[in-house]
Homo-oligomer: A and B are copies of this chain.
Amino acid sequence: MSIDFSASLDDKADMTLDEAMALDRADPLAPLRDRFSLPDGVIYLDGNSLGALPRAVAPRVAAAVTGEWGQDLITSWNVHDWIDLPARAGEKIARLVGAEPGSVVVADSTSVNIFKALGAALRMRPSRPVILTEAQNFPTDTYIAQAIADFAGNRRVVEADAAGLVAAMTDEVAVVLLTEVNYRTGARLDMKRLTQAAHDAGALIVWDLAHSAGALPVRLADAGADFAIGCGYKYLNGGPGAPAFVYVAPRHQAEAMQPLAGWLGHATPFTFSPAYEPAPGAARFRTGTPAVLSMTALDAALDAFDGVDLAVLRAKADALFDLFTRYVADNCPQLELLTPRDPGQRGTQMSFRHPQAYAVMQALIARNVIGDFREPDIMRFGLTPLYLRYEDIYRAAGTLCDVVNSGAWDTPQFRQRNKVV
């Protein structure tokens, strides 16, 4: 199913609030907002950094604390099947990222999972010295790549701009580590094309889905990805620091040996056998005991996607993108849009540049429009159609342009308080 949410915007460069609210009334996704608990009076455009709270979470977590832990104690590992929670939550994510059943497991943090995936890939390409990544990748990706290269001793990191990635895929490259949607600009790499290019060069590829999973249709299996990792607390709404996930292509599951070979990645952890024997499937990418409370929150949060077609969700995000960016272009064009307009070349966030981006964002937050700031001059706004309305986007764009045009952020008190110089 594909709904052209943007058609109704085509002739509405000067949309009114009433017209935006009419779009909400016609929106088939509008009821999903009730799956979330949102603060009154706030327009939250930072779901790309920390997703909002799904209503299902609080009762599930409370039950896990007082009922499962408090009453059933150690028996909960079996009675409430805590032991398979990483796989159960993983199955819910697998659907969202186009992964085969049994190929996704929830565990640890994104950073730790990058280490595991790179470590497994490096072992599969023992004679190739290079980890290739994009120069503009999220810092933890490049930090971990550098750290694992340093630790392995005989590897090194090579960085290339997005346009130069394929040319940099030489026969020295063991593994390519790329984030599909860039955290600063929202620009999106072509997963299928770059995966094919990596394979053509004899390399493996690890995709970081931090800004993709839950935001847009991801097709890991279709793209032929080798490994992927992703974040539980952004578009998946799993709560602050929610556990991350890792994908292992079925064709690699018997071979892939990740370096964090802890006891819960063992085939039979409770035999306490002296020799490590990796579990079958993606479960070998588990390491230690899962953080059950945080993982329960994520597991409950994922149910907010029940029955949701990500293509439809993405289409609404594109309509929200059009509404916001058109309003800005018409009313405060001094803001420079960094994000590509072409939906095929971007995720579902919008990034704008302004010389006083930090101060402007502070002024917006003071007016209950929450986005975030990235050094040195970028404002980011995440579009999360599960809980955002056209009305919200219209009001947020209006507030943004009001602040920018009026210079409302630029008071002496503000400059003093926020050390704006």
Residues of chain A at the chain B interface (Cβ within 8 Å):
37-39, 42, 44, 46, 49-50, 52-53, 57-58, 61-62, 64-66, 68-77, 82, 108-112, 115, 119, 123, 135, 138-140, 142-144, 146-148, 150-154, 184, 233, 239-244, 259-264, 266, 269-274, 276, 287-295, 297, 365, 370, 372, 374-375
Contact = CB atoms under 8 A, between A and B. Distances in A.
A64 to B, nearest CB: 8
A287 B370 contact: no
Given A53-B66, A112-B112, A287-B109, A143 B58 contact: no
A65 to B, nearest CB: 5
B62 A74 contact: no
B263 A111 contact: yes
Contacts of A39: 70-73
Given A46-B74, A372-B74, A109 B147 contact: no
Contacts of A374: 272
B82 A144 contact: no
Contacts of A239: 65, 69, 292-293
A288 B108 contact: yes
7 contacts: A44-B73, A68-B240, A69-B239, A108-B108, A111-B263, A151-B151, A241-B291
Contact of A293 (B68, B111, B184, B297): B297
A261 B150 CA distance: 11
Number of copies of this kind of chain in the complex? 2
A260 B61 contact: no
A236 to B, nearest CB: 13
A271 B403 CA distance: 25
Contacts of A276: 139, 143, 146-147
A61 B293 contact: yes
B148 A259 contact: yes
Given A110-B288, A244-B288, A287-B109, A73 B272 contact: no
Contacts of A112: 108, 112, 260, 262, 287-288
Contact of A37 (B70, B108, B109): B70
Contacts of A148: 259
Given A39-B71, A75-B365, A111-B264, 5 more contacts: A109-B289, A111-B262, A111-B263, A139-B266, A144-B262
Contacts of A76: 240
A143 B151 CA distance: 18
A142 B153 CA distance: 22
Given A71-B39, A108-B109, A260 B292 contact: no
A266 B53 CA distance: 28
A89 to B, nearest CB: 13
Nearest to A115: B260
B294 A370 contact: no
A261 to B, nearest CB: 4
Nearest first, the 6 closest Cβ-Cβ pairs linking A and B are A109-B288, A111-B262, A111-B288, A240-B292, A140-B263, A147-B261
A52 B71 CA distance: 9
Contacts of A291: 109, 241-243, 291, 294
